[in-house]
Amino acid sequence: MLRPLTALFALLFCASMPAQDAAAPKPDAKAQLDAAQKLVKQLSPGIYDLNGIQINAATRELRIPCSILHQKLPIEYALCHETGEKVHETILETKVKPIQIQLALLLANYQPATLGILEKIDPKAERPYKAKDTEPKTPGANRLGIHVEWKDGDKTKNVPLSDFIQDIDKRKTPDDLDTWIFNGSIIDESGFAAEETGSIISTYVDRAAIINSAAKGNHRDDLWISMPANIPAEETKVTLIITPAK
């Protein structure tokens, strides 16, 4: 079953607020949640739609419509909203609003927490953010597997999102890029940060993004580039598929 929408208020709008921002003006979270709730429709038993996101309640699989924006470029993001600030540094874009993606993750019983994002950073290195890492109530509930699916003629291709990304130093996809962290975007004085920035899946540590890479070197903004040979043509319609990490 999907998690009841009424139980998501604290997770969606309070758990993502850093302690230092507790006194900042808050957005009208109730109105945002109510608006998103009205978009959830049941398509068939156990299958729901949230503005184009398909949610499978039994498997917890999310399917998000996207398209290829860039094949060849240095990147900081794997997915941004089409109007996002970083569309010049992303492979994929989507018309789906970031807040709806975060809500869909919560409905499918994923739990936002930052634990895992910095687990491979050198202890002597400066942390990209100062806040203490948070843990999901259920161990591993913030860890995701992400694939990309598209039609290639009569064939359907399905590959890990990591196949689209390479390390500029080694010119290959790191083995540890298969697991992603659902940290949940922060809420600051401007509101739900991902809605403001359009940042959804980040390869370079960004607490405003909804999902972050857990790979070694994720604190570097100059490490990641796309893998053009593995990416379909620009403007190709693809489906981003999120499942629990294995």
pLDDT in tens, 122-174: 988 899 999 999 999 999 999 999 999 999 999 999 999 999 999 999 999 99
pLDDT at res. 138: 97
Where are the strands (E) in 10-51, listed by range? 40-44, 47-50
Report whether 28 contacts 191 (CB < 8 A): no
As to burial, measured by CB atoms within 10 angstroms (0-12 exposed, 13-18 middle, 19+ buried), residue 37 is: middle
Q: Confirm whether 181 is domain-assigned.
A: yes
Q: Confirm whether 183 is domain-assigned.
A: yes
Q: Give 26's pLDDT tier (boundaries 50, 70, 90).
A: low
Q: What is the residue range of 144's domain?
A: 5-121+131-244
Q: What is the pLDDT of residues 193-241, one digit of tens each?
A: 999 999 999 999 999 999 999 999 999 999 999 999 999 999 999 999 9
State the Cα–Cα distance between residues 127 and 84, nearest whole angstrom: 25
Q: Confirm whether 180 is domain-assigned.
A: yes
Q: Confirm whether 126 is domain-assigned.
A: no
Residue 2 DSSP code: P
State the Cα–Cα distance between residues 56 and 47, nearest whole angstrom: 5
Phi, psi of 52 (to 5 degrees): 100, -20
pLDDT at res. 188: 81
Q: How many domains does the chain have?
A: 1
Phi, psi of 185 (to 5 degrees): -65, 150
Total-model pTM: 0.90
Q: Confirm whether 95 is domain-assigned.
A: yes
Q: Confirm whether 163 is domain-assigned.
A: yes
Arithmetic mean of pLDDT over the chain? 90
Q: What is the pLDDT of residues 41-66, one digit of tens each?
A: 999 999 999 999 999 999 999 999 99
